[in-house]
């Protein structure tokens, strides 16, 4: 099962509950100490014990969120990694653990640690984890997994890039054409990618038509020109990324 993304309301609710639990916990502890000092006997012992237990459970469940918040706010890279790991280790609920794995994977992804990012993202059942996994498997050169994951989230352009890198232009064209079934979702890179596939397949007129369309749609015309002029644009691009992500 893939869990839906936690919304801001749920996050704020978690923080609010944990803060209330912490304040209530301190209040009950102080009351118990006062009772002991004044009367040497705790009033309403069972009720206060139950409240303390509830507060402790709430704080334990909220712990991953506090570690995650601290990870985002620290300036130290080592501390950030440690706090992200603590957010995973303190997660009790499977859905929360998946979310924390997604964020730890995001940390490794942002810091170009490809293998670690893949390992962590694979442990997450969070939908958003599949998007960077699609990119990472493509960069790594694991085209079987790349196609599988990219297909799972409907990233047809990324699927076609996997086939391009594997020099299977028939499948690359078939994959990118699935994107063209929904014209409203097309962008300039879709046309440029298909134009590149046509070029590699020796279909010059179709290639020129797509590159012309891409140039009209895209603000960054230079990148379209580069894709059109370079024979191995995607191969060179992903070779550089492979080094960058330490694969």
Share of the chain above pLDDT 70, in %: 89
Q: Tokens in use for 202?
A: 């020796």
Taking the model in full, what pTM does it have?
Answer: 0.81
pLDDT for 3: 41
Per the model's pLDDT, the better-predicted residue between 198 and 43 turns out to be: 198
pLDDT for 40: 60
pLDDT for 12: 63
pLDDT for 9: 61
For 136-158, write each residue's pLDDT tens digit.
999 999 999 999 999 999 999 99
For 73-109, write each residue's pLDDT tens digit.
888 888 999 999 999 999 888 888 888 999 999 999 9
Predicted confidence band of residue 215 (pLDDT cuts 50, 70, 90): very high
Per the model's pLDDT, the better-predicted residue between 247 and 220 turns out to be: 247
Predicted confidence band of residue 59 (pLDDT cuts 50, 70, 90): confident
Domains of the chain: 8-125 (no CATH), 131-244 (1.25.40.10)
């Amino acid at each position: 099962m893939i869990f839906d993304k936690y919304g801001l309301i749920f996050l704020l609710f978690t923080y609010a509950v944990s803060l209330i639990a912490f304040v209530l916990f301190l209040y009950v502890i102080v009351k118990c100490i006062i009772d002991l000092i004044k009367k040497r006997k705790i009033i309403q012992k069972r009720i206060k014990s139950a409240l303390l237990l509830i507060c402790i459970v709430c704080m334990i469940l909220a712990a991953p969120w506090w570690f995650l918040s601290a990870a985002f706010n620290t300036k130290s890279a080592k501390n950030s990694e440690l706090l992200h790991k603590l957010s995973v280790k303190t997660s009790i609920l499977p859905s929360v653990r998946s979310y924390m794995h997604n964020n730890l994977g995001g940390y490794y992804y942002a810091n170009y640690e490809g293998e670690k990012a893949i390992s962590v993202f694979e442990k997450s059942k969070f939908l958003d984890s599949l998007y960077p996994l699609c990119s990472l498997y493509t960069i790594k050169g694991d085209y079987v997994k790349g196609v599988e994951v990219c297909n799972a989230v409907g990233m047809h352009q990324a699927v076609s890039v996997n086939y391009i890198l594997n020099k299977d232009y028939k499948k690359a064209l078939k994959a990118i054409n699935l994107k063209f079934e929904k014209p409203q979702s097309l962008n300039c890179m879709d046309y440029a990618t298909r134009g590149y596939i046509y070029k590699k397949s020796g279909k010059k007129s179709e290639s020129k038509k797509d590159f012309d369309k891409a140039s009209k749609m895209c603000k960054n015309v230079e990148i379209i020109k580069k894709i059109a002029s370079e024979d191995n644009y995607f191969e060179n691009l992903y070779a550089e990324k492979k080094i960058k992500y330490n694969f």
